[in-house]
Structure 1
């Protein structure tokens, strides 16, 4: 019973971060499950997906209430992401866990560099009207590949690219990223579960905790200045990368 309570509290912390950054909490949950609970990479990713899916759905509903997600743009992201997430997840569940962990650290390092670079690039203010809308399917494809491989993709990959290349505001980008993440997260979770890469006893309380707290994160995301939100997102990525790098070297 104590373990369940601990997982619920942990899920609440992860859900708050997921709502704040529009990522569902999976990015930070994966290294924590690997480092603190010694789960192998695929099991950590599958268990995190179980927590993330309901959180993503709730966060998407909350974001859509405040800033309605454009259906056409969302579909251009969702369709390629869904199919590529399914295909790449079939490949990911067969990889060596240590190779997966090293690849995940590399993935985080790339994200850190990209997001730090964003802080210093000169760019026009974000808008609800996107640039290059006809190329959104490329972003959906990239997010689907990373989502299938690493269990994260929608918010982590799509949010910074939507703000930098497509000119979206941070809040609009996070809403679209959540719409993108929901279907691909579902199919990836199914694939990991079929291959026994989900710890249900841990994942369900994590999901409950996340559902209890993710609305707080969404509320904070709309209250914080955009530059502060981006700075926190960069710091968040650095911490996640450091946690997994520690595990790889241990």
Structure 2
């Protein structure tokens, strides 16, 4: 019972970060499960997905209340992401867990650097509704593959692309990214579960905590400047990468 309560508390902390940064908490849940619970990379990714699914659904609702999500665009992104997420998950399952962890660390560093470059580069200015559909199909496919590979959903990939190249604001991009993350996260979770790479009891407890707190993170995301959100995101991603590297 004590372990269950601790998992709820940890899930609650991750839920705040998930709502704040629009990523459902998965990106930070994976290092947490690896470092605190000693899980292999694939098991950590699968268990994090069990926590992330309800967080993403609630996060979409909260974001949509404040900034209406373009469901037509979200559906196109989500369908393309769904198709590739299965493939990415199957690739991850077949990799050696140490190799998978090294790749994941490299991915974290890349995401942090990319986020910093966003702050330095001039952001594109465009109307999302005027962009042709292949832009969104390509973004959805790439996001789906890496979401399935790393068990993080597509939001981590889609959010910086939508802001840096598609001209979306940070909060609009985060809300739209959460919308396309649902089908990819569910598909990836099913794949990991079929291969026995999900600790359901831990994931369920953390999901309870995340659902209880994610709304506070969403509220904070709408009150903080965009550059501050990016700094917070980059710092925590780099810390996660450093801690995981030390565990190799």
Range into which the TM-score falls when normalised by the shorter chain: over 0.9
Give distance in 1, aligned partners of 2:130 and 2:123.
Answer: 13
**2:112 touches 2:233 (CA, 8 Å); kept in 1?**
no
Q: Are residues 1:39 and 2:39 paired?
A: yes
Unaligned runs of 5+ in 1: none
**1:131 touches 1:166 (CA, 8 Å); kept in 2?**
no
Unaligned runs of 5+ in 2: none
Classify the secondary structure of the residue corresponding to 1:119. Answer: helix
Q: Report how many residues are paired.
A: 247
- Structure 1 length as normaliser, TM-score? 0.95
Query: Partner residue of 1:242?
Result: 242
- Aligned-pair CA distance for 1:131: 6.3
Q: After superposition, where does 1:79-158 map in structure 2 within 5 Å?
A: 79-123=79-123, 129=128, 132-134=131-133, 135-158=135-158
- Aligned-pair CA distance for 1:94: 1.8
Give distance in 1, aligned partners of 2:190 and 2:11.
Answer: 20
Query: Partner residue of 2:173?
Result: 173
Q: CA-to-partner distance for each residue in 1:114-169, whole Å, 9 max, x for gaps?
A: 111111112257x7746634201111011111111100142211111100000000
**1:128 touches 1:169 (CA, 8 Å); kept in 2?**
no
Q: CA-to-partner distance for each residue in 1:44-102, whole Å, 9 max, x for gaps?
A: 00000000000000001111111111012111210110010012212221211111101
**1:47 touches 1:197 (CA, 8 Å); kept in 2?**
yes
- Structure 2 length as normaliser, TM-score? 0.96
Give distance in 2, aligned partners of 1:47 and 1:9.
Answer: 16
Give distance in 2, aligned partners of 1:74 and 1:208.
Answer: 26
**2:123 touches 2:165 (CA, 8 Å); kept in 1?**
no
Classify the secondary structure of the residue corresponding to 1:68. Answer: coil
Q: After superposition, where does 1:185-224 map in structure 2 within 5 Å?
A: 185-224=185-224
Regions of 4+ moved over 3 Å: 127-133
Classify the secondary structure of the residue corresponding to 2:188. Answer: helix
Q: After superposition, where does 1:18-33 map in structure 2 within 5 Å?
A: 18-33=18-33
Distance verdict in 2 for CA 1:128–1:236, change over 3 Å: farther
Query: Partner residue of 2:228?
Result: 228
